[in-house]
Every structure is written in structure tokens, then in C-alpha cells.
Chains A and B, each alone.
Chain A
Amino acid sequence: MSRFITLSVNEVSRRVEVEPRETLLEVIRDHLGLTGAKLGCDIQVCGACTLLVSGKPVSSCSFLAVDADGCEVTSIEGLSCNGRLHRLQEAFIETGGLQCGFCTPGFILTAKALLDEQPHPSEEQIKKYMAGNLCRCGCYQEILDAIQKVAGRRAVQNG
């Protein structure tokens, strides 16, 4: 019953054999060895498993891998390039937007999707977009700071 799917993962094309029941999270972690996305609640609430599929955040724990055939997938591993951190990664470190770090890849990817869609979100927009990612260590204020920092910096650059 298994079949081959083709994914572009962090801009590298990958062909993987999967069973229909396998989730995108399982494929990314177990077949492709990218373990930045985590299994948290397994029910699309916590956001620890967030990946970007065609640029949009999804709960990969509940996303069938077969359904991603032909899609572009971005994982946290795809954000930094040539050893340089992405602005959001840098900002999360600077403001202290993480403690245990388990939710962090999901938060950063969601924030990236937000800023790609809407480079200058209002505080309200950030909160609504990000409210579906949970941080049990409770770094929400710092996470908000981090995103605002990057959004603000962009505003300056673009202006």
C-alpha cells in the first residue's frame, strides 16, 4: 500500500516511500532525520509540530504525508543558512523567547509564516496568529517582543 511521494524539503527535493497512514511529522523526523519539529499534543493544539507547507503553518502531527506529495515543506532546519541564524532565531535568543525550547521551532516557523504574509503586523495580529502555539514555560511576552522586534526592523528596512 505504500507509495512514493516527492517533497521539496528546505528546497531540496526528496523522494520518500510512505504508507498512507504516516504523518508528515513522522516522515520528516523518522525518514528524513529532521527532528526540529516535535510531537507535543498530537491533536493540533500545541503547535510543537508546526511545519510550513507551501509557506503556511500546519500541524504536521495530523497531516498525512501522502497529502503533501509535490509540496514545498519548510522545517526549522531550513531557516538558518550558511551558519547564519534567521532574524527571528536571533530575535528569540535576544529577547529570551524560549526556555526549554521544545515549542521553539514551531513558534519560529509560525512567526515566519506570519511575517512572510504580513510584514508589519499589529500587536493584535501577532497575538491572534501566534495564539495557537503553546509555550508551557510561559515565555509569551518575550516571544511577542521577538516578533515585534523583527517586524519593526523590517519596517525600518523597507521604509
Chain B
Amino acid sequence: MKNFEYLEPRSVQEACQLLRQHGEEARIFAGGTSLSIVMKQGFFQPKYLVNIKKIPDLTGIRWDPKRGLTLGALVTHRELETSPLIQETFPILSQIEEDVANIRVRVMGTVGGNLAYAEPLTDLPQILIALEASIRVAGPDGDRTMSLEELFVDYYETSLRPDEILTEVLVPTPPPRTGIEYIRFSSSSVIDKPCLGTAVRFTLEEDLETVRTARVVLGCVAPTPLRARQAEALLEGKRYEVQRVKEAAAFASRECKPVSDLRGSEAYKREMVRVLVTRAAPRAFEKARAFRGQV
């Protein structure tokens, strides 16, 4: 690693100022689990590292029945995994976190870093998008809010400006009769990064048969997390049926844009999208029917 100056702002404003001041030569440093890798490899050699971990406003998990869940950008994977509040309100998040990376990366790595890095092989974005999460972003000129989907632009590229900081993730309270299932699929070791990740979420009508909202969000099969919109459209507003799920899965498999890499060929990944959507949907449906206020 090349040397750099280590800055420790105490407020979001101060951090944004530092980022503005140093421009391209500065980088936000949260858990450092991703950044350390590119810095060691020499791909990225910032002159200034802006550690945001001393900013109290960026921490903490909050829940409000109306607004939903608020995750500070510095909430770690491990906090999501072990927080009683999460286990009560969004158990899906703590369940999936058990399989993310390894214990040490979970202890250090943050939600903000996971999203802002926009690495394609991750798990959280799919689930959070399926839950219609939004993010708050602070810049030198104030805050803005956008849907999480809008954050992702390309491989390792987000819509954040260099002097902006992702401060919070907001996950709305799930509407009644909502169920979500996430399947993390690895094509080698269980602890390998995902080959693909599939989130399926349903919100049902009162009849518990008709799908009001469907979200099919695919990870690792496109430059950004991908909503399989055709699949969603096929499922929405109709009775849940196994045959329709199969068709939707086939749509999803066509909609995604995987590339062949170490973790599988394009053809295989498309096939797995089909299989995993088919597997996740009935579980999400059952969970939605059994909804007890948490997902």
C-alpha cells in the first residue's frame, strides 16, 4: 500500500467538505474490507483516506412502525446478523447475513460500504431492492433521498458524486401479507462469493391468493442488481400459480445479462436464475400467507 493521509472527520458535513476539497484524490473509508484490497493491489491509491467511522450520526439501527427500518451507513454486516431488532422486524436480513463473506468481513464491513462499492458479487442489494429500500445521501449542499435501485449505475459505479456520502438506508415497513425469500447460490465453496443471488418478494391481496406486488431481484447476473421486470409483471395482479411462476422464472432467465466468469458460464447462470426463481417463489408466497408483521 502506498502511503496516504488519514483524516477523521467528526461530522457528515466535515466529511463532505474534505471530500470536496480533495476531489479525486480522496476516498471514503468505512470498514475497509473492499477498499484495502484495491489499495493493496495498487488499482487505487488515494492520497487521502476519509475515515467516516468517527461520525456518530452514521451508526445505529432504528425502527419505527410507520417509517420502517433505518440503517446507518456504518451498520456492519454482523450487526444486521445479530441485532434483536432486525431479527424481530426483518429476520430475512439476519438470516442472509449468516452466509455473507466470513465472520471477520462481517464484523468490519458496513452496509454503506457494501452498497456504495457496487461490486456485482454481493447479497444485500438484491434483498434491499426487493424490499423497496431507499437511501439518504449527504453532500456539501445538503441531503437527498433516492431509491436504492437508482444508486447502481454499472460495475463498481454508482450515482453518488465524489463528495457525497451514503448516510442511511431506509427499508419501509412491509405491507401486510408480504413474504420474501432469498437464495444465495455458490458454485464452489459455500464460503465463496455468490455465483448468483435471487430475491423474490410477494405482497398478496386479502384473498391470500392474488399477487398484489411482486419483486424478482437478481444479483451477480448483470453489471448492477437487476429487477426482472417482465417476470414481476407476469406475476402481479394475478393468482399465484406454479405454472405462472415457471413462466416468470423463464422470463427472469432471459432478462438477466450474466457474463461467463470463474463462477459459471452465461448459459449456466441463466439456467440457475430459472431454477432459483422457481424455488424462491413458493417459499416467498408461503411466507406472505403466513405474514405476522415481519419479513
A–B touch (CB < 8 A): the answer is yes
Chain A residues with CB under 8 Å of chain B are 1, 3, 19-21, 42-45, 47, 50, 56-59, 62-64, 66-67, 110, 113, 128-133
Contact A58 B104, CB 8 Å, known A21-B4, A67-B53: yes
How far apart are the CA atoms of A45 and B104 in the complex, in Å? 9
Q: How far in angstroms is the closest Cβ of chain A from B208?
A: 32
Cα(A64)–Cα(B6), bound, Å: 10
Residues of A with C-beta under 8 A to B53 = 67
Scan B21-34; emit 1 where CB is below 8 A from any A CB, else 0: 00000000100110
For B40, list chain A residues within 8 Å (CB): 42-43, 62
Bound CA–CA A3/B4 (angstroms): 12
Interface residues on B, range: 20 to 34
Interface residues of B (CB under 8 A from A): 1-6, 29, 32-33, 36-37, 40, 49, 51, 53, 78, 98-99, 101-105, 107-108, 190-191
A-B contact pairs, 19 of them (CB 8 A): A20-B6, A21-B4, A44-B102, A45-B102, A47-B104, A56-B78, A56-B107, A58-B108, A59-B33, A59-B108, A62-B36, A62-B37, A62-B40, A64-B32, A64-B49, A67-B51, A128-B98, A131-B190, A132-B191
Q: Give the A-B pair count, Cβ closer than 8 A.
A: 74
Inter-subunit contact B32/A62 (CB<8 Å) = yes
Report chain B residues within 8 Å CB of A19: 3
Residue of B nearest to A46 (CB): B102
Q: A56-B78, A131-B190, A131-B191 are in contact. Are A50 and B4 (CB under 8 A)?
A: no
A57 to B33, CA, bound (A): 13
Identify 10 new A-B residue pairs, CB closer than 8 A, beyond the known A58-B108, A62-B40, A64-B49: A1-B5, A20-B4, A47-B104, A59-B33, A59-B108, A62-B32, A64-B32, A131-B190, A131-B191, A132-B105
Closest to A66 in B: B6
- Cα A62 to Cα B35 in complex, Å, equals 9
For the complex of A and B, 8 pairs with smallest distance between CB atoms: A132-B102, A20-B6, A62-B36, A21-B1, A59-B104, A56-B107, A21-B3, A132-B103
Residues of B within 8 A of A129 (CB): 103
Who on chain B is nearest to A18 by CB?
B6
By a CB distance below 8 angstroms, the chain B residues around A21 are 1-4
- Which B residues are CB-close (under 8 A) to A130? 103
Q: When the two chains form the complex, which single residue of B1, B3, B37, B107 contacts A43, counting CB atoms closer than 8 Å?
A: B37
Most central of A20, A47, A62, A131 by chain B CB within 10 Å? A62
